[in-house]
Structure 1
Amino acid sequence: MQTTPTRRRFIAGGTAAGIVAVAGCADEASEDEPTDEESETDDADGTDAPEEESYEVWALDQGTDTIHIYEPEEGEGEFDRTECLDLHDVGVDIEDDADIVPHMIDFSSDYEYAAVACTAGRRVLVFRTEDYELVGDVETGPGSHMAIFAPDDDYIHVDVIDEEAVARVEADLEAESFEEVDRLELPEDETVQEAGIESASPICHQFDGQGRSIHTLGPSYHDAGVVIVDHDDFEVERAYSGDELPANCGTMPHFEDGKFYLTAGLPSDPEEGEDGVGEYYVYDVEEDEIVVDGESTRGVDAHGFWFTPDGEELWVLNRETNDGVVVDPETDEVVDEIEAFGPDQADDPEERDAPDIMWTSPDGEYMFVTLRGPAPLSGDPHAATGVTPGFSVLDVESREIVEVVEPDPIDDYADEEIEAAQEGAEDAPDIPDFHGLGVRPIGDAEGEIPNSPPF
């Protein structure tokens, strides 16, 4: 069945825009943009003008090592790219031709800083969001997959897949100083060993409101499990093997109840006749027990999820089947289904979009969802190979796609270039592949619950 969005509009389209994006980020400042002196005192009495309520969408193109930043325009579902960061031009301490691969993003509690985990770059980058300046560059190891600010912003914890470790980076935001000060080697931990966990690569984590961080293990469903780390002591408190709690992807605390949501995903394998997995789990963080033991997401390869800003819905997406469900956070039951997160839907996985990570606008109007490219740099290619790299904009109320934003149009790339990238050819060009995404509220723009965890 082909799903058609209500309105599809490509931003930064056209050949010229695509060429500029491939070569780097163009200077997009408007000729009418006020000077520093003009912008500092906008009011007639010379005082600082109050910051208008709005938000920014930070979309991470790990395929081209670029971060695209958008703001909403006045028209319905329209967005304007206001900044573009070529990570090879911002001062990252890495060889010029080395891949960086910005994978996931998180913000400090006041949204004044953004932490970007870079898998191939083996590091975490910290940006000051006011002026997009790189202020922190910490090498944390290969496969640095997710970097999250602690609730008090005093540390950034990093899931380092290839080293099976959780790195602790001390964050002094006032001094803009960042340094790794501790590390948990999970396979060496006695609690992890007693749980019968052999492969202990941390994937994602969040804080549970009980002074702990909960980490899923993976990346494969066959290596799934959960490790719970005491924040103050920075020690493993509990561990669950994949036989007991096979979560290998998303982590999300409930915004007020003592519950924690996790996803489990496995791509299908047609050659072996395996159907794949799409499930979510709910963990009671106060009683330390599983209260929902594998509920179906009605699709394959459950991955990202997010609360709506009113706290009434938890959206869960399936990466391989480009669909998902809506969970009622009060009952933890599925109450609705979402037909498609990306505009291309088909029976053949190679002809349908592959959604990955999502985040809502603070006003609750839209859900933003990243869409993977045709030459994905992470994930099982069977599930992660997409059609339209960029991010889609879904109307929360209708659950329909109202916009698809494609910062670096895939139509600007020849089929031969895409095929070379898919085959891993040495001279293949970088192909857009969007994975991480974050939404930064501006001014007092917030929903009924905070726009991002920890809550």
Structure 2
Amino acid sequence: MEMSLRPFLGATVAFCLLPACVEPVGSTGLAASEAAAGTEAEAAFGEPPFEVWAIDQSNTNGLAYGGTVYIYNGHNLSAGDGVAPVSAEVIDLGGATASLCFEQTGANPVRPHMVLFNASHTHAVLSFVASGHVAIFDAATRAPVACLRSSPGADGARQAHAAVPAPDDSYILVANQNGKLLERIATDYDAGTFAWDHDAKLNLATCVAPSGDPCQFPDIRPDNAPICPIIDAAGAYGFITLRGGGMFVVDPAATPIQIVGEYDVTAVNGNGCGGVEAGGSMFINSGGGTAANLDQFDVYRFPLAGYAPTNAVNTPPPQVVFTDGSPDRDAHGVLLTNRRRNVWVLDRIQGVAEVFDVGTNAHVNTVDLKGPLSSDPAPDLMARSPSGDRIFVTLRGPTPLSGDPHASVGSTPGVGVIHVTQAGKDGKLKRISPITNTDAGGVERADPHAIQVRLL
């Protein structure tokens, strides 16, 4: 599962990767007109300036590694409607990033999957799910400044499914999915130093839970591949979703990382990839998209206090906000609307967002993203504009690289813009900026996945 970067359709403003090289390629007139449009949009939406970073997982053309980051002016992306390309800065991850990763780890980075910003939005943290790399970028210059690679698990496998910066910027928590390890990178963004904290590592395949049960065991937690670490705002707890079901709550800053809460498959279904703090709780989903659990849509609500190693299993109990295990359901990305009243959870198969009231847990709406712009949008992850009037969503392509194909196949790869209405209860897909990466055989390989908003 999965808690979200290629040649571009139409006129594009592209930037090379070297720190001293920021030379736009494309139409100067288009760039000037879009800059003016962005200023007008900023005034119209009453928002501060911001960027939208979107990640295409597909390889750099002609290579077996790389990928692409698209960086959009947020106000330009917000304006207009229909299906039309919006100019973006483009970072080819097969260039300077791949060179740095190979220099520092001896391997090329493959399949960029999730991107998140540190607390001050000075740096971007990009995880590569296939190769296990975590690349860190100076967000302003777009330059990669460090690249680390996760540890191999017992069978030699390693991945970096998600890498989550701590709220105080002191570390990055890494879900090494197929290695079944929870790892930590010590970070000092001001000094530019990043290093694995090897003493912090928690082996989820071989550890023993506080109850005395094995961390991984049939009928308890059968497959402890960590999917999405979700850290609360205080930095006290990390909620670790697992591929095979069950969950751990950990003290992410302890050395080694310490389990303070354990949940089995009777309490939490597998493949959760999405969580958001709201109303004094942590909302977390579970989904489908794997051979062991094709169809699932659950939303849970966990408290933000009451965890201790001495607790009984499944304590404190989560509230089950919503559950639907019927065919063709797959819960994925989660978002809190700007007035903190509603939580949105996407369904990649149905092409909808389910909306829940934070105060009551009530299911208040189903927002259908299918329509004239896309018959099969396959929405994956979301980020909202500073005002909350827009939600930006990645739309998967026809040749997905992650997630079972039944869950992730889409017809319109790109970035969608949802206009939010009714104080966060409703919305409509108003714009798609396409992303394309066609191979030599004419097959569309673009597969957008991660998306984040960076405040400027």
TM-score, reference length from structure 2:
0.76
Using the alignment, how far apart are the partners of 2:121 and 2:13 within structure 1? Answer: 30
2:377 pairs with 1:353: yes
Match among 134, 138, 154 for residue 144 of structure 2? 134
State the partner residue of 1:217: 242
Distance change >3 Å, CA 20–CA 402, structure 1 → 2: same
Contact 2:49 2:455 (C-alpha < 8 Å) held by counterparts: yes
- Compared CA separation, residues 440 and 20, structure 1 to 2 (3 A): closer
Indicate yes or no: 2:84 matched with 1:81: no
Is 1:254 aligned to residue 277 of structure 2? yes
CA 1:88–1:313 in 2, change beyond 3 Å: closer, same or farther?
same
Provide the C-alpha distance between the structure 1 equivalents of 2:207 and 2:323, rounded to a whole number of angstroms. 32
Change (3 A) 1:33 1:214: same
Indicate which of 9, 12, 26 corresponds to 1:13: 9
In the alignment, which residue of structure 1 is the partner of 2:154? none
Residue 28 (str. 1) matches residue 25 (str. 2): yes
- Aligned 1:52-63 pairs, distance under 5 A: 53-63=48-58
1:322-333 equivalences under 5 Å are 322-333=351-362
Unaligned runs of 5+ in 2: 1-6, 17-21, 32-46, 60-66, 152-157, 307-314
Cα pair distance change 1:401/1:376, threshold 3 Å: same
Matched position secondary structure for 1:92: helix
Paired residue secondary structure (2:205): helix
Question: One-letter code of the match for 1:285?
Answer: L
Q: 1:399 aligns with which of 412, 427, 430?
A: 427
Aligned length: 384
- Three-state SS of the structure 2 residue aligned to 1:314 is strand
Question: Are 1:431 and 2:445 counterparts?
Answer: yes
Farther-moved stretch of structure 1 (368-377 vs 97-106): 97-106
Corresponding residue for 1:68? 70
Deviation at 1:132, TM superposition (A): 0.7
Distance 1:343 1:168, change over 3 A: farther
User: Residue type of the partner of 2:305?
Assistant: E
State whether residues 209 and 262 of structure 2, in contact with CA within 8 Å, keep that contact through their aligned partners in structure 1. Answer: yes
Quote the offset at 1:239 in angstroms. 1.8
Cα distance, 1:344 vs. partner? 6.3
The CA distance in 1 between the partners of 2:176 and 2:445, in whole Å, is 25
TM-score normalised by the chain length of structure 1: 0.76
**3-state DSSP of counterpart to 2:317:** strand
Q: What SS does the corresponding residue of 1:156 show, helix, strand or coil?
A: strand
Correspondence for 2:400: 376
Partner SS state of residue 445, structure 2: coil
**What is aligned with 2:454?**
440
Distance 1:173 1:278 in 2: 37
Q: Output the aligned Cα RMSD.
A: 3.3
Match of 2:172 among 156, 165, 169: 156
CA–CA separation in structure 2 for the residues paired with 1:204 and 1:77: 34
Quote the residue 2:253 is aligned against.
Answer: 232
Contact 2:52 2:71 in 1 (8 A): yes
**2:297 aligned partner, one-letter code:** G
Q: How much does 1:121 deviate?
A: 2.9
1:309 Cα deviation after fit: 1.8
Q: 1:32 to 1:382 in 2, by over 3 A?
A: closer
Q: Quote the offset at 1:365 in angstroms.
A: 1.4
Cα distance between partner residues in 2 of 1:345 and 1:100? 29
For each residue in 1:147-197, what CA deviation from the matched residue of structure 2 results, as whole angstroms up to 9, or x when unmatched? 000111000011011100011000011111111113111122210744632
When residues 286 and 355 of structure 1 are mapped into structure 2, their CA distance, relative to the original with a 3 A threshold, is same
